[in-house]
Structure 1
Amino acid sequence: MSLQWKGVFPAITTKFTAEGELDLEGFSANLKEQLAAGVDGIVLGGSLGEASVITTAEKELLVKTAISLAGNIPVVLNIAESVTTEAIRQAKLAAEWGAKGLMLLPPMRYKADDRETVTYFKAVAAATSLPVMIYNNPVDYKIEVTLDMFAELAEIPNIQAVKESSRDVTNVTRMINRFGDRFAILCGVDTIAMEELLLGANGWVAGLVCAFPRETVAIYRLTKAGRTEEATRIYRWFMPLLELDIHPKLVQYIKLAEAQAGIGTEFVRAPRLTLVGEERERILNVINTALAKRPQLPDYLSITIN
């Protein structure tokens, strides 16, 4: 099954009501904004999607709702499980629901060694025909997927991409030097996305796109079209917002940004709590300062990226 691992893939937030129930109306409204802005794929159930607190039944609803709206835009489901058998079950369910690809984290809770991690990835990939993107995030999940590990994974044809979230931009060059175009590389850290795109990354699994989809897609397309000065101008404006993506409370921060931008709400599911007091005022100041200076964008949707 083919999937073009390039472009902007929003890591969509999961929308909840004030009572903590799934808010499909709010989810759909935000998703329509993403699609209108020109995103290239959708990632559901990631860290930003509060994967640890949504049920399998809710994942099914989210996947099927996204597919009903997305048309030809691929919907990718994240798998973040502690047990290999459960990860395999989730992969099979994702295919049944109609997802076009998987994003796969290393085993959760247990810090697997290199051999265990590679075996886990291979077992899940072997259980499905869906294309797989490995999520390499040693900062938050304490397991680094090294180049030697990718060399072992290269023999599995449906392991096709990496969400590169090590926060080390040189990993893009190392991956390309060693593997050429065997693996598509998508930046997973908002604050270094333009740098990694310039170094050859194929795409961007983005966070602040949830609140600012047009600006995110504009940066991607302008950068890939060689219009670096225009892209840099937007990126510099965006940076204070992008820094919200690298905080432990990225979910609350980005949902607050969605609310201020008019395409979401602040509601999270416990044990997370919405922001209060000085912290909320500080983040609101970052968001509202940026909104007051929101840049005019060129006609980025007319740019064709090969």
Structure 2
Amino acid sequence: MTQFSWKGVMPAVTTKFTHEDKLDMEMFTVNINAQLEAGVSGIILGGTLGEASTLDDDEKQILIEHTVGLVDGKVPVVMNIAEQSTKKAIMAAEKAEKYGAKGLMMLPPMRYKSTDYETMAYFKAVAQNTSLPIMIYNNPVDYKIEVTLDMFDELLENDNIQAVKESTRDITNITRIRNRFGERLKILCGVDTLAMESLLMGSDGWVAGLVCAFPKETVAIYQLVKEGRIEEATAIYRWFMPLLELDINPQLVQNIKLAEVATGIGTENVRLPRLPLQGKERDRVLSIIDHGVKTRPQIPIF
């Protein structure tokens, strides 16, 4: 099984498209290089932010292979698995491994609200058909299925289920997980607006969204917290919060892509049925981004 370090800042990167709705690998490369330069610990492909539900298998292959070549072993590439059937999830995991991914992030079954028993069977089936380490994405708010601590008790019998992307919005869950599983289950915060609080309570890492546009600031918060430099981290976090709130919104993809445009490492192109923001909402988001860019903090040395 692949050795994996579930820690640090792991961007759930956006997928870049051209005006002709093809993959924009040139701008994608610009963004990944900015992430690497900032010191991220991994790259996560094909999440919600990556517009995974609109990508075909060939595009996923291109994205994984290109990213693996680009990172050149510096950080692991993680592929998200979000499928409707167990069979397709197993196939997606096999393909991700074949194309060079070093880890998987896994959502429960899509569309069908599975029972606890069915959810565990789904995760176990994939875990037993791949050698890749797995991070379970636990987001009952958006996906209506909670992976409880009792469920993790059973899931952790599979050695390659190693981490949780903790998105329950309940900070106390971090302490419960730590008390129950110690270091056996690594914890990565999955909610941008709770990231610093999660890190202070012992999260190992942060699966981040606004990092796509602001990589240096995101990594700085993580590093400063881990070094115990809480005041400095708090100052950056307070500046960041209006921007981070753009992530907890149904139009998070459009919001974050607009922010990437403002920082020069992305384009606004989204794939249908998504459309770029319009009218008052566009003005509102642009004003938040504009203020954020104009007041970007000085990053201390860490």
Superposed displacement of residue 100, structure 1: 0.2
SS in 1 for 2:168: coil
State the alpha-carbon separation in 2 of the partners of residues 212 and 99 from structure 1. 24
State the alpha-carbon separation in 2 of the partners of residues 146 and 187 from structure 1. 16
State the alpha-carbon separation in 1 of the partners of residues 26 and 128 from structure 2. 35
State the alpha-carbon separation in 2 of the partners of residues 93 and 50 from structure 1. 18
State the alpha-carbon separation in 1 of the partners of residues 152 and 83 from structure 2. 20
Q: Which amino acid aligns with 1:26?
A: M
User: 5+ unaligned residues in a row in structure 1: which ranges?
Assistant: 301-306
Partner residue of 2:145 out of 129, 143, 146: 143
State the alpha-carbon separation in 2 of the partners of residues 268 and 78 from structure 1. 19
State the alpha-carbon separation in 2 of the partners of residues 214 and 91 from structure 1. 31
State the alpha-carbon separation in 2 of the partners of residues 260 and 17 from structure 1. 17
Partner residue of 1:207 out of 190, 206, 209: 209
Q: Which amino acid aligns with 1:118?
A: M
- The answer for the alignment partner of 1:273 in structure 2 is 275
- The answer for the alignment partner of 1:94 in structure 2 is 96
- The answer for the alignment partner of 1:287 in structure 2 is 289
- The answer for the alignment partner of 2:64 in structure 1 is 63
State the alpha-carbon separation in 2 of the partners of residues 19 and 283 from structure 1. 25
State the alpha-carbon separation in 2 of the partners of residues 54 and 273 from structure 1. 16
User: 5+ unaligned residues in a row in structure 2: which ranges?
Assistant: none
Partner residue of 1:222 out of 221, 224, 227: 224
TM-score norm. by structure 1 comes to 0.97
Q: Which amino acid aligns with 2:23?
A: L
- The answer for the alignment partner of 1:158 in structure 2 is 160
Partner residue of 1:85 out of 60, 64, 87: 87
SS in 1 for 2:4: coil
RMSD: 0.6
- The answer for the alignment partner of 1:245 in structure 2 is 247
- The answer for the alignment partner of 2:266 in structure 1 is 264
Q: Spell out structure 1 runs of 4+ moving beyond 4 A.
A: none
SS in 1 for 2:234: helix
State the alpha-carbon separation in 2 of the partners of residues 152 and 205 from structure 1. 24
- The answer for the alignment partner of 2:32 in structure 1 is 31
Superposed displacement of residue 275, structure 1: 0.9
State the alpha-carbon separation in 2 of the partners of residues 154 and 144 from structure 1. 16
Superposed displacement of residue 154, structure 1: 1.1
- The answer for the alignment partner of 1:50 in structure 2 is 51
Partner residue of 2:113 out of 111, 114, 125: 111
SS in 2 for 1:270: coil
State the alpha-carbon separation in 1 of the partners of residues 124 and 229 from structure 2. 39
Superposed displacement of residue 19, structure 1: 2.0
SS in 2 for 1:46: coil
Q: Which amino acid aligns with 1:191?
A: T
Asked whether 1:184 is paired with 2:186, we answer yes
State the alpha-carbon separation in 2 of the partners of residues 139 and 249 from structure 1. 16
- The answer for the alignment partner of 2:173 in structure 1 is 171
State the alpha-carbon separation in 1 of the partners of residues 275 and 84 from structure 2. 25
The count of aligned residue pairs is 300
Superposed displacement of residue 299, structure 1: 1.6
User: CA deviation digits over 1:196-248, x for unaligned, max 9?
Assistant: 00000000000000000000000000001100010000000000000001001
Asked whether 1:9 is paired with 2:10, we answer yes
TM-score norm. by structure 2 comes to 0.99
